[in-house]
Amino acid sequence: MNDVPLGILFGILVLLIIFSGFFSSSETGMMSLNRYRLRHMAKNKHKGALRASNLLAKPDRLIGTILTGNNLVNFAAAALATIISQRLWPDNPDLAVFVNTILFTLVVLIFAELTPKTLAAIHPEKVAFPAARILVVLQWLLTPFVWFVNTIANALLKLIRVDINATPDNLSTEELRTVVNEAGTMIPKRHQHMLISILDLEKMAVNDIMVPRNEVVAIDLEDDIEQIVEQLRSTQHTRLPVYRGDINEVVGLLHTRNASRFLTNPDFKKSDILQECRDPYFIPESTPLHTQLFNFQKQQRRIALVVDEYGDVQGICTLEDILEEIVGEFTTDTAAIENPDFKRLNDGSTLIDGTAYIRDINKALSWEFNTDGPKTFSGLIVEYLETIPDGPACLTLEGKRIEILKVEDNMVKLSRVFDK
């Protein structure tokens, strides 16, 4: 080496530093790749993604190849730097060693480690995909040495009970929710909301969205025939439960489209209604929404009667109710417009009907009342007071002042809530 000009030695050293930077950036780039994006690109036959995916399928071989190449280059560069320093200061070996240690460490740290790894971490695909071409070749060339090293390393990992064939954990629901929320402009806001709503279905049960029994519009066969006819002609609903005397005595579900078959008949009788009814479909009130959505599809139903553990009807749930939890309101509920559950007043306070669902209130007014307990606003107040109020009263709940304005039928009928 003494006969080789310093210029050539410096050139070789620079080349080794570049090789070291390549291995460092390759390692960081390959390990920083988004595995789910990589799978998507590989399915679309992206050549760089396919090569990177094949390399990452056996991470021990990939890391072994990169580290073998990186260590060989670094050791060669260190030896060459020592030779250069000794030729620059032949009369002062201590100074040569000191300068070589300091300068070589800084050069390697800046140009072979920090800069390339930072670049690869920021743009992993731009680094990893081109590097995969070279790594595939190096992996084949270094196969004997890498196999020998990996055999020893894997044996050590097995001693400490590490499964080297373990696959990365799949995304949990909460992790997927975070991915959707942080997608930014990649996913439109409305689509993000729909995806999050789908994930939230498993947290909600039928009794969170059902129409309570006191609001159910149904046909009572004990009513006069004229009253039933008028109800059928003026109803805004496409499907109505049919019962005898009490909502718990449901005998069927009537599609109002079929009512035209007997409404024009002058000899129309109540028995004609029963002939057009479909058997009632009952579901438990604790059924998760995502399960009930599947059940509606499986049973080819659009409406169900919700019952509690004692078999008493608590309300109804429709397919539309579940779909609106995903996509938002897509029909106009005239009754809801004429009789809103809550109304903003000019002074900033809000009038809230006691039967209003807490989830609907939180969603519409951006409040944060607890939804783990009672489902309605009246139930929330009664649970907090631990008694049914006899008349008007005031309380503070979740940082909001609430005035109970009307109590009727053992429930809080109307309240006024002050936001601050």
The pLDDT confidence band at residue 337, using thresholds 50, 70 and 90, is very low
Average pLDDT (16-33) is 91
Query: Do residues 393 and 404 touch, judged by C-beta distance below 8 A?
Result: yes
The pLDDT confidence band at residue 1, using thresholds 50, 70 and 90, is low
Residue 333 has pLDDT above 70, yes or no: no
Residue 246 has pLDDT above 80, yes or no: yes
Q: Which two tokens stand for residue 258?
A: 């079929």
Spatial neighbors of 330 by CB under 8 A, at least 6 apart, are 323, 324
Spatial neighbors of 412 by CB under 8 A, at least 6 apart, are 354, 377, 378, 381, 382, 388, 389, 404, 406
The string of pLDDT tens digits covering residues 357-397 is 888 888 778 888 887 778 888 888 998 888 888 888 888 88
Query: Please, where in the chain does CATH 3.30.465.10 lie?
Result: 340-418
Tell me the DSSP string of 183-252: TGGGS-HHHHHHHHHHHHGGG-BGGGTPEEGGG---EETTS-HHHHHHHHHH---SEEEEEESEEEEEEE
Residue 309 has pLDDT above 80, yes or no: yes
60/239: higher pLDDT: 239
Q: Which two tokens stand for residue 285?
A: 């009130």
The pLDDT confidence band at residue 2, using thresholds 50, 70 and 90, is low
Spatial neighbors of 199 by CB under 8 A, at least 6 apart, are 173, 176, 177, 180
Strand order in the sheet with 282-284: 211-212, 313-318, 303-307, 282-284
The string of pLDDT tens digits covering residues 41-55 is 888 889 988 999 898
State the pLDDT at residue 18.
Answer: 92
Q: Which of 387, 386, 404 is nearest to 395 (CA)?
A: 404
Residue 339 has pLDDT above 60, yes or no: no
The pLDDT confidence band at residue 34, using thresholds 50, 70 and 90, is confident
SS3 140: helix
The string of pLDDT tens digits covering residues 92-122 is 777 777 777 888 888 889 988 899 999 999 9
Domain 206-324 matching CATH 3.10.580.10: the answer reads yes
The pLDDT confidence band at residue 334, using thresholds 50, 70 and 90, is very low
Q: Give dist(CA 378, CA 47) in Å, integer.
A: 61
Q: Give dist(CA 177, CA 309) in Å, integer.
A: 33
What fold does the segment set 340-418 form as a domain?
3.30.465
Query: Do residues 13 and 80 touch, judged by C-beta distance below 8 A?
Result: yes
Q: How far is CA 186 from CA 74, 130, 179, 233, 296, in A?
A: 41, 25, 11, 49, 32
State the pLDDT at residue 304.
Answer: 94
What single-letter DSSP state applies at residue 277? P
Number of other CB atoms surrounding residue 145 within 10 Å: 13
In sequence order, the β-bridge partners of residue 306 are 283, 315
The pLDDT confidence band at residue 164, using thresholds 50, 70 and 90, is low
Residue with tokens 């009572």: 220
Report CA Rg, the chain: 36
Across 62-76, 125-139, 224-238, 323-337, least confident range: 323-337
Phi-psi domain of 409 (left: phi exceeds 0; alpha: psi -120 through 50; beta: other): left
Query: Please, where in the chain does CATH 3.10.580.10 lie?
Result: 206-324
Residue 331 has pLDDT above 60, yes or no: no
End-to-end alpha-carbon separation of the chain, Å? 83
Q: Give dist(CA 318, CA 211) in Å, integer.
A: 9
Average pLDDT (160-164) is 75
Q: Give dist(CA 88, CA 86) in Å, integer.
A: 5
Q: Give dist(CA 271, CA 313) in Å, integer.
A: 23
Q: Which of 202, 211, 200 is nearest to 306 (CA)?
A: 211
Q: Which two tokens stand for residue 396?
A: 């503070």
State the pLDDT at residue 338.
Answer: 44
What single-letter DSSP state applies at residue 402? E
Average pLDDT (308-325) is 90
Residues of the chain with pLDDT > 90, as a percent, come to 23
